[in-house]
Structure formats: C-alpha cells, structure tokens
Amino acid sequence: MYLFKLNYRGELFIIAKGMRRKNLFILGIIFLLGILFLGIDRSKATVNDNIFDCILKDTNGEIVEYGLITNFQHYGEGEKVCKKILKNLNINQNDYRDTIKNEKIYCIEFDDNNLEGYIQNTRYDNDNIITINIKGKNKANELDKLEEELTGALKDENVRFFKYVKARIDEKDLQKTNKDIITLLKDFRGENIETIKIDHGYSTIAYIKKYNPININGKPIDFNYALCSYNSGNYIIMGTPEILISY
C-alpha cells in the first residue's frame, strides 16, 4: 500500500507501507518526471516575465522616472509633423510651447498631467529627422503602455524605441545588488553579461533576447542597467537596448 502527494513547495514525496521494489521504481520515475516538468514551468514563467518589473521587485525599487527616446527620418514639413504627433498623443495645445524655431531646428516642449518631454525636427540638407524624448509621470511602471500610445501616435512610421526606467533602491551594498541582478539575468537565459566599475557604481550589459539588439564589441546586446550611488540615495537605471539618459 502506498500514497504519494506534493508538498507545499511542489515536491513529490511518498508515504509507503509494504511496497515492492517495482512500485518504488515506478514512483521514482514519477518523482523525476514531476521535478522535470515543474522545472520547465518555472523556467518559462521567468523568461516570459517583464525584466524591468522583476528587477524592480527584487531591488524593492521605487520608480522616479521612465520614458522612451526615438528618432526617425521623414519628408514632411517639420512643424506640422511635430504638432500632429502631439495631437495624436492627446496633448492639449495649452500644454506645449515652441522653444526653438529657426531654419534648421524646430522644437516643442510639452508638459501635462501624464507626460512631459520634447519633440524636435532637425533639417539636414534634404532630410528631416524627428527626435522624441518622452517621460511618464506615474510611479508605476507603465512603460509598455507608453510605448503602445506613442506607436499609435506615430501611425505608419517605422521606429525603434530606446526605453528606460530609473528607480530609487534601499540596498546600500551595490556590489551585492549587482550580483543578485546578474543571477536574475541568467534566469532569463541572459548571455554576453559584462560589468564594469564606474565612478559611483556599476554598469552591466547583457543579451536576454527580448528586445532589438545592438552590436557592442562584436556581440549582440539588448539590455543595460547601471547601479549608482548619489548623495540623494542609491538608484538603478535600466535601459533597452542601452541607456541613453545621463547617469
């Protein structure tokens, strides 16, 4: 007679009485298969998670800023294109102002209840380049939502986003925090993980196969984070495929 069940950790254990060797062998196979499938499920769950949210959770990070940066080429009239994008983002005309307006550059800064940043058109000979730098004001990580809104506002433009999140963290030992995050990146099956020491912390790059990569020293990289210590506290800045804001 025998019984077997899962404990609170999802591990299979056996309560046996009068077992034959054959029964023990069969249950051993079941045990190994159970461990195998549980391991696969956990791996998939980790890989499919949002890397920003996972790191914020592990570091107990409090978001202070998140945003998107992009640029693209166009052949329209710069001022009209900039204002059309703002209109598509539902930013009221009262919430933006021209800051630069000349033959080569047209720039609008905007600031409403939800978003702030700027849109700039720069003329190069016969080409026009639109640059957008936009930040969300919420304390929650709504980076994916912001990307969807901006993608919709840009309509048919083929753009590449550089995304980032900056958060304050409680941990004072940045070396330990860096090691913990590297372990998490490996759970995401991260590759090409490299860390350098900077003046006030650490900067790490990795390839986690979730974003459009760039090439650094002959290797694909799609994630970058920095751990920084300032007088105001310790912070983590995460970006994909790399961090484009100062830190």
Angle CA(138)–CA(206)–CA(186) in degrees, nearest 5?
A: 95
pLDDT band at residue 76 under the 50/70/90 scheme: confident
Question: If you average pLDDT over residues 35-46, what whole number do you get?
Answer: 45
pLDDT band at residue 75 under the 50/70/90 scheme: confident
Question: If you average pLDDT over residues 9-37, what whole number do you get?
Answer: 50
Question: If you average pLDDT over residues 149-171, what whole number do you get?
Answer: 91
pLDDT tens-digit profile of 80-133?
Answer: 999 999 999 999 999 999 999 998 999 999 999 889 999 999 998 878 999 999
Question: For the chain, which residues make up each domain, given as ranges?
Answer: 2-47, 51-240
Mean pLDDT of the chain: 85
- On whether the CB atoms of residues 121 and 105 are closer than 8 A, the answer is yes
pTM comes to 0.77
pLDDT at 126: 78
Tell me how crowded residue 230 is: count the other CB atoms within 10 A of its CB: 11
Exposed, middle or buried: residue 169 (CB in 10 Å: 0-12, 13-18, 19+)? buried
